[in-house]
Amino acid sequence: MSYSNNPFVRGYDGLSVERLLAISYDDDCPLTYLPLHASQSHLPDSQVVRYPCIFCDDFAVVTEGQDVPPDLEAQCQSHGIARTVVYAVMAEEDGKPLHVADTYSDEAAREVVRRLRFYTGHYSRCWEISSGHITGAAWHFLAELADIATPTTFLFIAFRIPYSQAIGVKLIATPWTDANLRMVEGTTAKRLDREHRRKGMPDCLVEVLRLAALADVRMLVFDADAPVLDGLPVFDK
């Protein structure tokens, strides 16, 4: 299951703001959107909008009122007009750039980023899902872990919730990506998966915990009365 199809994933990763020129160049062609070359990134919008520019596949260069080095000019074979400046809110998905929204000022774009990041805390880090997403064998395996000291190599702690049939899991060192696990625990996602299976953890529990940890979930509660999470398999007890 890919990151984008992970039912635990909410929000966006790697949010950033990218300043782009909306360039017209041919009457029958749609606008193209490109960043200014790094040497002109300091130019205010007032010295960019409605000015002639040259561009290539990677960047644009305003020509009017600017000294453009010959080598830079040689890289840009297309000519156009910068009609407006767009501040694009960008994110990452599966390591690839994802376009979220366009605004028309840097302040507006950063406000969108601020709201999406939830500076007061990380949302969707605590989930309550149906215990039907794991088999009866997996439930008993988890219950046994909740009654003993969960092995530290599992990178989670199982615990019982008083006055309830629910069992909670505190996930550690999330997200369980190779990069983060190497930095925090000196291991990899594959080694962690192998450790879970070596200790007899049922496949369905391995997979649910893996998906939750990849989405940076920190608290996961399994409860028979909790709702089913679309995208996860359901098992008959």
Instruction: Give the rounded distance of the alpha carbon of 12 from its chain centre.
Output: 4
Assess if residue 46 is contained within a domain: yes
Domain end among 51, 84, 117: 117
Q: CA torsion angle for 180, 182, 188, 192 (degrees, to 10)?
A: -80
pLDDT of the residue at 121: 47
Same domain, 136 and 81: no
Same domain, 23 and 113: yes
Assess if residue 51 is contained within a domain: yes
What does the H/E/C string look like for 181-198? HHHHHCCCHHHHHHHHHH
pLDDT of the residue at 97: 87
Assess if residue 20 is contained within a domain: yes
Question: Per-block average pLDDT, block size 10, for the chain (237 residues)?
Answer: 73 88 88 95 94 95 92 93 95 84 94 74 75 96 92 93 94 94 95 95 96 93 94 87
- Which pair of structure tokens corresponds to residue 171? 């996930």
- Which pair of structure tokens corresponds to residue 61? 């260069």
Same domain, 82 and 136: no
Same domain, 83 and 173: no
pLDDT of the residue at 1: 55
pLDDT of the residue at 104: 92
Which residue range is the domain that position 160 belongs to?
Answer: 126-223
pLDDT of the residue at 123: 54
Same domain, 102 and 22: yes
Domain end among 56, 88, 117: 117
CB atoms within 10 A of CB 91: 18
pLDDT of the residue at 138: 97
Decide if 122 contacts 20 (C-beta within 8 A). no
Same domain, 33 and 83: yes
